[in-house]
Amino acid sequence: MTPKAKYALIGCAVLTVLVALAVAGVLALRTIDWSVENIEVTLSAPEKVRRGEDFQISARVRNTASKPQRLVDLDIDRGYLRGIAIRSAEPPWKQSTNLMGLGTSFTFDLPIEPGEEILLVLQANALHMGDFAGDFDFCINSELQFLTQTARTVVSR
C-alpha cells in the first residue's frame, strides 16, 4: 500500500468517527426534554414612544410548580435592540452578554419559590426612529429551556 493510500484510509476512518460522533450528539440532544413547565410569563412594553424617551418594560414570571425554579437569563433579540437600549433592571442583572450579534443575554439567576412570582422592570431608552420587534426568551432553570414572549415598540419623532 502506498503512503498516499494509507493517508486516504486514515482520513476516511477519521471522517467516519466524526460522523458517528455527530449522529450520537444529535440523538442525545433529541432525548432531552427542553420544555418549560409550571411557569407563566407576561411581558408588557409600550406600543409607541418618542425618540429619546425613557420608558419601562415589565415582565412577571410566576412559578406554579410545587418546587423552586430559577429565572436564569433573559435573552432579548437584536430586532428589538436595534432601536431600543436596555439601561438597567430591577432587580439588577448580574451580567450581560452579547450573543454573537443575535441579541443580548441578561443573567439574573433569581430563585422563584413555589406559588411565587418575580417582577422584572427594565429601564429602556428609545434610540432610533422605527418599528422594533423581537423575542424575549425567559430562560428557566437552564440556558437551554425557555419561554418566549414578543415585544414590539414603534419609535417616532
3-state secondary structure of 131: strand
Question: Would you state the pLDDT for residue 76?
Answer: 97
Domain spans of the chain? 39-156
CB contact burial 79-117 (16+ within 10 A = b; e otherwise): bbbebbebeebeeebeeeeeeeeebbbbbbeeebeeeee
Residue of 39, 42, 40, 44 whose CA lies nearest to 55: 44
Position with higher pLDDT, 59 vs 32? 59
**Helix residue spans in the chain (DSSP H):** 3-30, 78-81
* 26 in Cβ contact with 52 (< 8 Å): no
Give the pLDDT mean for 111-129: 97
Q: Which of 147, 153, 140, 138 is nearest to 50 (CA)?
A: 153
Q: Is the pLDDT of residue 137 over 50?
A: yes
Tens of pLDDT, residue by residue over 60-107, are: 999 999 999 999 999 999 999 999 999 999 999 999 999 998 999 999
Q: Quick check: 27 pLDDT over 50? A: no
- Reported as a single tens digit per residue, the pLDDT across 41-52 is 999 999 999 999
Per-residue pLDDT, 2 = 72
Indicate the range of 14-18, 120-124, 132-136 predicted with least confidence: 14-18
- What pLDDT, on a 0 to 100 scale, did the predictor assign at position 29? 47
Residue 33 has pLDDT above 60, yes or no: no
The CATH H-level (homologous superfamily) assignment of domain 39-156 is Immunoglobulins (2.60.40.10)
Q: Is 153 helix (H, G, I), strand (E, B) or coil?
A: strand
pTM of the model: 0.79
Residue 46: CA count within 13 A, CB half-sphere: 17
